[in-house]
Structure 1
Amino acid sequence: MIQTLLVANRGEIACRIIRTCRELGIRTVAVHSDADENALHARVADTAVRLPGAAPAETYLRGDLIVKAALSAGADAVHPGYGFLSENPDFARAVLDAGLTWIGPSPEAIEAMASKTRAKDLMGIVPLAEADVTEADLPVLVKAAAGGGGRGMRIVRRLEELSAALKSARAEALSAFGDGEVFLERYLEHGRHVEVQVLADTHGTIWMLGTRDCSLQRRHQKVIEEAPAPGISEVLTSDMYALAVQAVCAVAYEGAGTVEFLVADGRAHFLEMNTRLQVEHPVTEAVFGIDLVAEQIRVSEGHALEKDPPRARGHAIEARLYAEDPAHGWAPQAGTLHHLAVPDGVRLDTGYTDGDPIGVHYDPMLAKVVAHAPTRAEALRKLAGALERTELHGPLTNRDLLVRSLRHEEFRSGHTDTGFYDRHLGELTESAPDPLAPLAAALADAHGRSRFGGWRNLPAQPQVKRYELAGQEYEVRYRHTRTGFSAEGVRVVRADARLVVLEVDGVARKFTVTRHGDQVYVNSTHLTALPRFPDPTAQHAPGSLLAPMPGTVVRIAEGLTEGATVQAGQGLIWLEAMKMQHQISAPVTGTLSALHAKAGQQVEPGMLLAVVQETSS
């Protein structure tokens, strides 16, 4: 029986594994990088071990340090979570060779399926060869052979773009997974991403735990997942089950795993088998009423599964809450998470608590929010409502996008595909700021500063405050009166430091206001308080390219020098942040009048990288 388990991971999944271990009475050991010394997973574990000597982005890929940590902390088992080393057969072997229990399938099974190219060969599927790609094959998808999460993936629609796509995908895959191998496959434009959860023991029993739809994706990374997959026929489900059983039996699989398919034209096309727990496993847990981490541990201890799996009940939907800007290339955001609280009735899996920093070294996912209900329509309504009422103070997130996606008619119909955001991102990210939010912020800030010391015969002069909201500047005017605050067109029912109630046309609305420095949060609206007298020097020349996020300059366009002519949309500089590469392009056609960025340079948001002077017409 396992007594002490080391979690070879970080963040949300480490906290989630630790929670189950506590319920089972198993002691836990966390590992952490220097950047994660005060992270939640390191705080909630019974013991924490620092992994020395590695850069933060590489720390959790150091299997030798992790095995050493397990032995020194007295652990007798290792759970890899997902990502990092979870599908690394050499790490699994090292754990077993050290006399520890590995919570997962055998190294041989991982090795057979860890490379997507080998997995396809095992399933009788032949990928495209680079030299054989023709115009008729386009579009094609460049895909990392190791790992997942959208890293190392590129869509190629023109043959002349293939070489550059292969180069950048290899670099990104090498950085994320330590393996730069990529392969090609035909890209199905309007397919659905559907997967089957499997669980197998060491006694020959295999459970098929339903389907999941993960079609809503950005940059090939899942955003919203649900179980069961809507609109999938019994025949198609049976076909996927048969292929999943084939994959399990082909490698004598043990434990929890997922077989992924692209469903198009009424057929299921095998994509890969993930030999680990998936990020979206909570929706399966909700529908089947089980704890997959607990089942993984039981299987690793040699326990047998029941002959038949539990029955599925209802529908579950999960939304991934990211610190990112969907309207501007999904750029990751960093900063302090001041406050995160979801309403009762939904599940929250997170690796953060109030006051924690959101760094630049890891994936920008803040949390997963999961709703379970008797029907899909009820689960959709429940999750959208919970996200809308979530108190979230910190960097920019995709929360509003999630709410609008869940309420979008195409998604509600259950017939969407992986191109959903390609078609609808513009309308889903259109800024519709609350016009009363700046006034509520100003009145809350003014509360407590008012001092009606004596009666005056003259009316009070209007007070003026300025805020930035969704890229626009707003000026707010209000007055102090003997009876309180007043503003044009609005009746101020109540105004204190935390709650403002404003009445317009007989309808009273409540605004909860929280301030952290110059950042003000009014319900779900995020404003920046501007100084009374702006700094006229804080301006950049037209055509300035500023770093949109903290990160590292990994590449400058080949041959790019000051004085070069560039075309609008041409990639000039590539930043790496949170294991993803982000292209910064020329905003206009013109001349590169300044180039400040250098390969390997660390940059902060707002740092000037280059200037493009537009060609006069």
Structure 2
Amino acid sequence: MIPSLLIANRGEIAVRIIRTARRLGIRTIAVHSEADAKALFVREADEAHLVGPAAASESYLKIDRILEVAKRSGAAAIHPGYGFLSERAEFAEACEANGIIFVGPPASAIRAMGLKDAAKALVAQAGVPVVPGYHGAKQEPDFLRQKAYEIGYPVLIKAVAGGGGKGMRRVDRALDFEAALESAQREAQNAFGDGRVLVEKYVLSPRHVEVQVFADGHGNVVHLFERDCSLQRRHQKVIEEAPAPGMTAETREAMGRAAVEAARAVGYVGAGTVEFIADAREGLRPDRFFFMEMNTRLQVEHPVTEAITGLDLVELQLRVASGETLPFTQDDLRIQGHAAEARLYAEDPEKGFLPSTGRLWALRFPTGEGLRIDTGVVEGDEVTPFYDPMIAKVIAHGPDRETALSRLSSALAETRVAGPRTNVAFLKALADAPGFRAGDFDTGFIDRNLDALGAVERGVDETAVALGALRLLERDMKAASPRAGASSAWDGRDGFQLVGRREQVMPVVVDGTRHDVSVEWAVSGGDAAEADVAVRSGSVTERRLGRYRDLPEAGFVERGDGVYVLDGGRQTFVASFDPFAVDLEHLDAGDSIAAPMHGKLVALFVAAGDRVEKGQRLAVVEAMKMEHALLAPRDGVVAEVSGEPGTQVAEGARLVTLEAEAG
């Protein structure tokens, strides 16, 4: 076994690798950016080294700095995790040149499968069907537009390098092709350093099924069955499961054989995933699936494969990298039950899944039979705008699909997160969706059901506001109760009075917006602690006796200036209104287009004096490796443009200001 291991990654996968290596008696070395100096994986490693500033391009993607740390610390091997350098052939070559084991496939295999166009040509020669499209080298926009016309809309523009949905755009009309191509190329260049794309026919009603393969350095290659990753948003996987619903033994054999042959064709070693697409309208037939790509690394969703096989894929990676032979053959492997994984992200489904940042004031997960949580953060940590916004993976396993999904749903219902917005309520709705439970879904399922899944603006949760106001009242009463030596009982702010009822308006701030609630006090009988208090917000009234001793504590998370109210996966932040805290900068912001999150301003398409139409693209902000276009809310004229492309912008920063057109 290798004696020491450097982990060239961050987050939950770094934590997972460190814990597995520790169990095997391997010394671990972490590298980290300035933003991750206090991260969980840094704290858990035996030693840690700074490699650069927050931007991944200046830290986690700096091969020379990572190798310098590896040599200085005496690392025998480097595990690249997934993302970052995990699929960079030059990194694998550099490790080999420096006498360091790369825990992954040889550089030749990464290079052969790393470019989608070359990979498709390779597997096509082996007789594996590929999706119709243009996979050539020409990249002129006019040429690609013509190819899209010949293929027939809808088409899919895909980055030649990389994966994870970056540099991928579906285009339904020729009118939208140019903007989609430009955005895909820019995103691909930023994410992978390679802006080239291919254009493919978009398969209607597609199911995304991938096969986990594993190979050792002695010529043994097996597949560890399939995963269904069809529940996607913006080509990013949301919930994955294994095995695939509706999979027949005949199709599993055909897919598994194709995946193993693809791995053999490139001399593969270690863990890899071969991804296929099938037309769900025809079921998972053995003659109707197409090769998409091969990911030459461990996948985010590998825990569901571990659950149904009983294997530890990270341990297998380390053993294979140490020169060991796979301890099983294909005939030894069996599927044990069913597993599903949900990706908990710091994002706001009610606002187009915009990334969310900030301190995790609460982060609490349930425990129970068949549950597993993989996370790289703990309560009190910060979610920053620099990296992927995944907080955790919630994994559930059971003897059958219904049990696994029910356990996943229950676990999500018991998950408590406060601070950044999250998709936990959305995930639970997805796990419970009748169509998904029935196995009637494809990669467009989420987009077709956004309303039913709660991924739409739902307005203020009046119940949460009332509960939050009650909580603030309780806090205020405790702080203002008359104390020994107090000059007067009138100093108290507890609603005490001699007779009758009294009603007053209590101004609060709900998620940053002024909101008035009505508070009704009953006769307290001289004991303010036992006053009957009712708070009305909108049409909702919440009433509590005494010190609100029956409030559900699990639903509240205290913050210095207010309280988070957690209800059904949603969070509402209620704070006392401060009349002196006026945001002067944004008093006239009605016609301002502001940055929806912290990120980088990558493009500005307008200048002062330009006339714009409603829906026109004005700017693009990139955050957490995804691009977000800012559109004109109405027709008008650009009065002012702020910021320069390439600079960082804060959430709420004004970028474009509109004014009415003269006349």
SS at match of 1:487: strand
- What is the CA distance between 1:296 and its match in structure 2? 0.7
Q: Identify the residue that residue 118 of structure 1 maps to in structure 2.
A: 118
Residues 29 and 46 of structure 2 are in contact (CA less than 8 Å); yes or no, is this contact kept in structure 1? yes
Q: Which residue of 1 aligns with 2:293?
A: 272
Match of 1:313 among 325, 336, 339: 336
Find out whether 1:438 has 2:465 as its counterpart: yes
C-alpha contact 2:239 2:341 (8 A) present in aligned 1: yes
Does 1:583 find its partner at 2:629?
yes
Alignment partners' CA distance in 2, 1:581 and 1:159: 21
**Structure 2 CA distance, aligned partners of 1:236 and 1:204?**
25
Query: CA offset at residue 204 of structure 1?
Result: 2.7
Q: Match for 2:565: what amino acid? A: V
Structure 2 counterpart of 1:425 = 450
CA distance in 2: counterparts of 1:462 and 1:616, whole angstroms: 49
Q: Which residue identity lines up with residue 499 of structure 2 in the other structure?
A: L
Q: Partners in 1 of 2:421 and 2:583 — Cα distance? A: 26
Matched, 1:178 2:193: yes
Q: Does 1:368 align with 2:411?
A: no
SS of aligned partner of 1:425: coil
RMSD value, Cα = 2.4
What does the per-residue CA deviation read over 1:75-127, in whole Å, with 9 as the maximum and x for residues that have no partner? 10110100111011110011111111111111111111111111101011474
CA displacement, residues 147-203 of structure 1 (integer Å, 9 cap, x when unaligned) = 111111111222243333222212211111122221111111310111111111223
Contact 2:7 2:79 in 1 (8 A): yes
Report the Cα offset of residue 457 of structure 1: 2.1
1:477-524, Cα deviation, whole Å (9 max, x unpaired) = 24373333421655425645xx643xxxxxxx7763222234522234
2:599 to 530, 545, 551: 551
The aligned counterpart of 1:505 is: none
Alpha-carbon distance between aligned partners in 1 of 2:445 and 2:63, rounded to the nearest angstrom: 38
Q: Deviations over 1:190-242 (max 9, x none)?
A: 10111111111223322221111111111111111111111122222222112
TM-superposition CA deviations, 1:26-80 (whole Å, max 9, x none): 1100001112111211111101011147844431111111111111111101101
* One of 533, 540, 548 as aligned partner of 1:486: 533
Q: After the TM superposition, which residues 27-66 of structure 1 pair with which residues of structure 2 at under 5 Å, given as runs?
A: 27-52=27-52, 55-66=55-66
**1:167 paired to 2:167:** no
Aligned residue in 2 for 1:93? 93
- Structure 1 partner of 2:402: 377
1:348 to 373, 377, 400: 373
What does residue range 483-562 of structure 1 map to in structure 2 within 5 Å?
A: 483-487=530-534, 490-492=542-544, 495=547, 500-501=550-551, 512-524=555-567, 525-533=571-579, 535=582, 537=584, 538-557=586-605, 560-562=606-608
Change (3 A) 1:478 1:17: farther
Q: Gaps spanning 5+ residues in structure 2: where? A: 125-129, 137-143, 483-488, 490-495, 536-540
Matching residue of 1:416:
441
Amino acid corresponding to residue 417 of structure 1 in structure 2 = D
After superposition, the Cα gap between the structure-2 partners of 1:519 and 1:136, relative to the gap in structure 1 and judged at 3 Å, is farther
**Contact kept in structure 2, 1:216 and 1:222, CA below 8 Å:** yes
Three-state SS of the structure 2 residue aligned to 1:109 is helix
Distance 2:642 2:219 in 1: 61
Secondary structure of the 2:450 match is helix
Counterpart in 1 of 2:154? Answer: 139
- Give the paired residue count: 606
Correspondence for 2:347: 324
Deviation per residue, 1:445-483 (Å, 9 max, x gap): 222542665685234644524242697845242437333
Match of 2:72 in 1: 72
* Distance in 2, Cα, partners of 1:380 & 1:52: 41
Aligned equivalents of 1:520, 1:452: Cα separation in 2: 20
Partner of 1:157: 172
Q: CA separation in 2, counterparts of 1:48 and 1:520?
A: 36
- 2:362 corresponds to: 339
**Conserved in 2, the CA contact under 8 Å of 1:547 and 1:605?**
yes
What SS class does the counterpart of residue 196 from structure 1 fall into?
strand
Match of 1:457 in 2: 498
SS in 2 for 1:240: helix
1:234 and 1:52 mapped to 2: Cα distance?
49
8 Å Cα contact 1:562/1:595 also seen in 2: yes
Following the alignment from structure 2 to structure 1, what is the Cα–Cα distance between the partners of residues 300 and 582?
Answer: 45
Amino acid at match of 2:206: G
Report the 3-state secondary structure (helix = DSSP H, G, I; strand = E; otherwise coil) of the residue aligned with 1:51: strand
Equivalents in 2 of 1:340, 1:311: separation in Å? 35
Distance change >3 Å, CA 588–CA 299, structure 1 → 2:
same
Task: Confirm or deny that 1:596 pairs with 2:642.
Answer: yes
Q: Give how far 1:577 is off.
A: 1.3
Partner of 2:229: 214
Amino acid at match of 2:225: G
Matched, 1:447 2:474: yes
1:469 and 1:168, CA in 2 relative to 1: closer, same or farther beyond 3 A? closer
| TM-score between both structures, scaled by the size of structure 1 | 0.93
User: Partner letter of residue 575 of structure 1?
Assistant: V
Instruction: Report the residue type matching 2:602 in the other structure.
Output: V
Does 2:276 align with 1:261?
yes
TM-score, length-normalised on structure 2? 0.86
| Inter-partner Cα distance in structure 2 for 1:54 and 1:36 | 8
In the alignment, is the contact (CA less than 8 A) between 1:117 and 1:127 conserved in 2? no
Match of 1:18, SS state, is helix
Whichever residue aligns with residue 403 of structure 1, its letter is K
CA distance 1:579–1:490, shift in 2 (3 Å) = closer
Cα offsets for 1:504-547 (capped at 9, x unmatched): xxxxx776322223452223432232515373845334332111
Q: What secondary structure sits across from 2:291 in the alignment?
A: strand
Residue aligning to 1:506: none
State whether structure 2 residue 234 is matched by structure 1 residue 205. Answer: no
Q: Which moved more, 1:263-272 or 1:469-478?
A: 469-478
SS in structure 2 at match of 1:520: strand
* Equivalent residue for 2:517, pick from 475, 486, 491: 475
CA distance in structure 2 between the aligned counterparts of 1:162 and 1:324, rounded to whole angstroms = 28
User: Distance between the aligned counterparts of 2:463 and 2:341, measured in 1?
Assistant: 31
Contact 1:443–1:500 (CA<8 Å) still a contact in 2?
no
**1:553–1:573 CA contact under 8 A, matched in 2:** yes
CA offsets per residue over residues 283-342 of structure 1, 9 Å max, x none? Answer: 111111111000111111122221244322111111111111223232111111122111
Decide whether the 8 Å contact of 2:347 with 2:389 is kept in 1. Answer: yes
